Amino acid sequence: MKKTAFLGLGVMGAPMAGHLASNGFAVTVYNRTREKADAWAKRHGGAAAQDPADAVKDADLVFLCLGDDPDVTSVIENAAGGFSQGAIIVDHTTASPALARRLHDDLAELGVGFVDAPVSGGQAGAENGALSIMCGGDGAHVEVARPAMESYGARIVHIGPAGAGQLCKAVNQLCIAGIVQGLSEGVHFAVKAGLDIDKVLEAISGGAAQSWQMDNRAKTMAQDEFEFGFAVDWMRKDLRIALDEARANGARLPIAALVDQFYADLQAMGGGRWDTSSLIRRLTDID
């Protein structure tokens, strides 16, 4: 079984690394807050490293699940002296396509593979081992890493060359943003019209309006509950990546740009840590 390292033990990374350990992989973890790494190792029986270079030493596969481009750059730079020849880095961070392309090329010169592999499915998907993983990079590297990723991924798709995984994640977030805004307006309208929201959802959730967001968030949106993982702050980061890329490739994203500003309104209201379904709060709070 390949020796693995997992760097970044947030709400996504910790359960993902746990699935690796429970599937028989030897896992060494690193987290900026050492206490999290120690607690993870105590629970799952792996090892906790003092720094990134120590974590990746002798590892065949190195997994990252961090916050943004600067975090990935910092960890890679700090780990660079520890990478083994032929190791493959799989970055599950949602970061920029430009960074993925640069790291792929730079690490190739060191004899190290790099796969950009952002995920979708949220904290529940990570905990249940049911994430969707979209991969960019060399196909051979994806296949080497696939058995490990199957520990926590229900769907793993090689999209294309370096950066393609991050571009696919941008598509994912663009689709979600529009759906959540539409759902917010629909739920808000139903409440204002005096309808029984449970009956409304029963009626429309079997038709063309159905979506994952409707099935999992509509009722809690109506109940003003927004503590379900993926935060507004992170969604704005993801939309920034998508909008920056659109400016470069000429794509027109008017709805995404508008919803991005709606999320900015939520941040100004103190809702940066609310989950993304809180878009409805912007409607209800201005009544």
CA distance 99 to 33: 24
Count of domains observed in the chain: 2
* pLDDT score for 38: 97
* pLDDT score for 229: 75
CA distance 160 to 158: 6
Question: Of 160, 183, 216, which one is at a domain's C-terminal end?
Answer: 160
Give the residue numbers annotated as catalytic, written as ranges: 169
* pLDDT score for 287: 54
Question: Of 138, 160, 182, which one is at a domain's C-terminal end?
Answer: 160
* Polymer length in residues for the chain: 287
Shared domain check, 142 and 20: yes
pTM of the predicted structure, to 2 decimals: 0.94
Shared domain check, 137 and 28: yes
CA distance 51 to 168: 31
Query: 3-state secondary structure string, 19-71?
Result: HHHHCCCEEEEECCCHHHHHHHHHHHCCEECCCHHHHHCCCCEEEECCCCHHH
What average pLDDT values come out for the chain (287 residues) when binned by 10 residues? 92 97 96 96 94 96 97 96 95 98 97 98 94 98 98 98 98 97 98 97 96 96 91 97 97 98 97 97 83
Question: Of 129, 160, 191, which one is at a domain's C-terminal end?
Answer: 160
Range of the domain at 186: 167-284
* pLDDT score for 286: 65
Look up the CATH number of the domain holding residue 63.
3.40.50.720
